[in-house]
Amino acid sequence: MDYLPVFLDIRERPCLLVGGGEVALRKATLLARAGARLKLVAPEVRGDLRELLEAELGILHQRRFEDADLDNVALVIAATNDDQVNQHISRLARDRSLPVNVVDQPALCTFIVPAIVDRSPVVVAISTGGSSPVLTRQLKEKIEQAVPAAYGRLAALLGGFRKRVRARIDDFEQRTRFWERLLDGPLSGLVFSGREREAEAWIESELENAGDAPAAPQGEVWLVGAGPGDPDLLTLKALRLMYAADVVLYDRLVSPEILQKVRPDAEKFHVGKQRAHHPVPQEAINDQLVRLARQGRKVLRLKGGDPFIFGRGGEEIDRLAELGIPFQVVPGITAASGCASYAGIPLTHRDFAQSVRFVAGHLKGDRVGLDWPHLAREDQTLVIYMGLVGLPNICRQLVAHGMPADMPVAVVQQGTTATQRVVSGTLDDIVARVESEAVQPPTIIIIGHVVSLHRELAWFNVSRDA
């Protein structure tokens, strides 16, 4: 994150704007909307900017910038077309620890002015750090369409009850639950349909019954599939629950980029496992889910891929169901589907494979114990999870049970992420290729004639950023 997003209170505070052209007019308008006391310095000032200053009772110094103009101001915006003046203002403001913005010159700024979607008191700020104003504008247009103006009325209504709710409900957790119940109920619909009086009466009723004898909090567990790695592959429901959770138990394969989408103040516990290293046994994870839910908390069990495909989600919900703890399961894009798609490998194809099989390639001793006669068919695609260590044994067994040694194989490392790599070969040579490329887990192994399409179709795969 290049800049810390903050909202400054500049109401009735003097703010210096240097420049008298169209850009200065836009910045002056924005400062005026935020309640600033405008102080403008420029040798020439356009008429509409002059009128704005008069309307806002601002101060105009029609001359060139002087160092003393920085005295007693809260922030500085330079909107001139003179690079030397802009650099001088930036240097002086930094020396005084004043926030300074030089329009279209991020290197001279200590803060930037974002694009704004104004639904006051709800304000959404959008920025690309000065790297792409056009992209910022397009994002603003999307948010303008997605956030109705009524959100401002809803926020204002809720703000009017904050003191009373705090006085009525002492406990922070109970207050949070109260606000969540309001917003999960009919309140938003009433406001959005213009029925604010009914909405206010409903809040009054809910508040009257709050805080007297609070019922024991009801916890819940959400098993959510985080997908194979690309945050853009998260489902909308997954995102909603990730932001609503009080506490998160996450696996090793959940990327930092995905964890950033979890509610910032949620507690986070890493319970990931890897081959031959299980610092948190599955039974301990099951117990932790139960304990946290019984505390009345909203517990997010965040898993790489899909919870029900080699994710042991079934074991976890067995325990929850046995003890009567409410739960939801949110499927995710499994690694087989995501990695194959990003590698340009169709798992089924009319000419090559009429079925696909997902299997786990764990070593048991020095062998992978699978049903090799059924897996060695040529008219299907095999996707092997957790099979990197057992790859030599997998290749030997498939050939021994009748699969051709020249059957195409792809090993996808860190699939769907920016660091995805695909190493392809055949059953005969893939082990040597993987060793020479120093492939590391996590990986997915795809075996079948469909792999031969990888190099052709990967060029046209629009899902990949790389």
Point out the residues that are catalytic.
251, 273
Please state whether 342 falls in left (phi above 0), alpha (psi between -120 and 50) or beta.
alpha
Q: Within a 13 Å sphere around the CA of 260, how many CA atoms are in the beta-carbon half? A: 8
What is residue 337's three-state secondary structure? helix
Report the 3 state secondary structure along 63-76. CCCCHHHHCCCCEE
Long-range contact set of residues 312-315: C-beta below 8 Å, sequence gap at least 24? 312/282, 313/223, 315/282, 315/286
Distance of CA 285 to the CA centre of its chain: 25
* Residues composing the chain: 466
For residues 387 and 431, the answer to whether their CB atoms sit within 8 Å is: no
| Residue 242, token pair as written in the block | 């990730």
DSSP string, 83-99: HHHHHHHHHHHHHTT--
| Residue 181, token pair as written in the block | 């119940």
Q: Within a 13 Å sphere around the CA of 211, how many CA atoms are in the beta-carbon half? A: 16
